[in-house]
Amino acid sequence: MHTHSTRPSHRFGYAYFALLAAAVFGALLLMVVSGWDMLFEIDVRVARDLHGWARENPGATQALRILTNWVWDPVTFRVLAAGLAAFLWLRGERRKAVWVVTVMTVGALAGVLCKTAVARERPMFVDPVDTAHGWSFPSGHALNGVLGCGVLLIGLWPLIPRRVRPFAVLAAVVSALGVGFTRLALGVHYLSDVVAGWALGVVVLAVFWAVVAVLWESAEAEITPEIDRRIDADRSELRVPG
């Protein structure tokens, strides 16, 4: 007898991460919009400390510029995601391909809309080590770092050897965290901007993976009973009368 599993535990897992990340993002958004003094003090203190470190270490600062402008730039992640989507589509994994494109597109739009709505100024220094344009909250680099690393890891997961998977996860986490650090150390974002970007990225990843999983499993549930009935009918024709 055929049974169909909707894997409810997986759905609950997606929902848990989405809700947790949404709570973090929502709390930071509320504190930034309301101008909560304690958050601002923390942001300024972290920004000043890292700015001082960046001024004292020009070699490291130059390395961070290369990482943030080339290796972990949002455009880099989008190009990689587009290549992944094309690869998955040609392999016949069209659900994942559509998911990759949707996540990157919706995530980018959500980031831009939030930046415009909040309109937070970036950190300002008399002697900046780097500059950036546009509004500050949330960090687009941090957001796209989570989105890009997430879709690459999930999309390629079945092709990654089991022994290599822990290193792949580590590389994705380090990259997502690393791009956020570059924005802080270069003085173009506050800590709350970066954390909000990470949180929003997790929300988009989890929500759209859960939506795709539910829609796909619902379609399978509708198709499977019909297949089972045909199989049962074929079996009944093959029975030998006793």
- Token pair of 72, please? 């972990």
**Residue 239 has what pLDDT?**
47
End-to-end CA distance of the chain: 23
- Is pLDDT of 58 > 90? yes
pLDDT-derived band at 224, boundaries 50, 70, 90: very low
pTM of the shown model: 0.86
- Is pLDDT of 214 > 60? yes
**Residue 211 has what pLDDT?**
81
In the DSSP assignment, the letter for residue 129 is: S
What are phi and psi for residue 118, nearest 5 degrees?
Answer: -80, -40
Q: What is the largest CA-CA distance in the chain?
A: 95
SS3 (DSSP) at 62: helix
What are phi and psi for residue 230, nearest 5 degrees?
Answer: -65, -40
- Token pair of 107, please? 């995530």
Alpha helical stretches, state H, 35-56 = 37-56
- Is pLDDT of 160 > 70? yes
**Radius of gyration of the chain measured on its C-alpha atoms:** 23
In the DSSP assignment, the letter for residue 240 is: P
pLDDT-derived band at 18, boundaries 50, 70, 90: confident
Q: 105 exposed, middle or buried (CB, 10 Å; 0-12, 13-18, 19+)?
A: middle
- Is pLDDT of 6 > 50? no
- Is pLDDT of 213 > 70? yes
- Is pLDDT of 15 > 60? yes
Q: Are 47 and 123 in contact (CB under 8 A)?
A: yes
- Region 66-89: mean pLDDT is 97
- Is pLDDT of 242 > 50? no
Run of H or E including 212: helix 191-237
pLDDT-derived band at 10, boundaries 50, 70, 90: low
pLDDT-derived band at 11, boundaries 50, 70, 90: low
- Region 155-167: mean pLDDT is 96
pLDDT tens, 101-121? 999 999 999 999 999 999 999
pLDDT-derived band at 12, boundaries 50, 70, 90: low
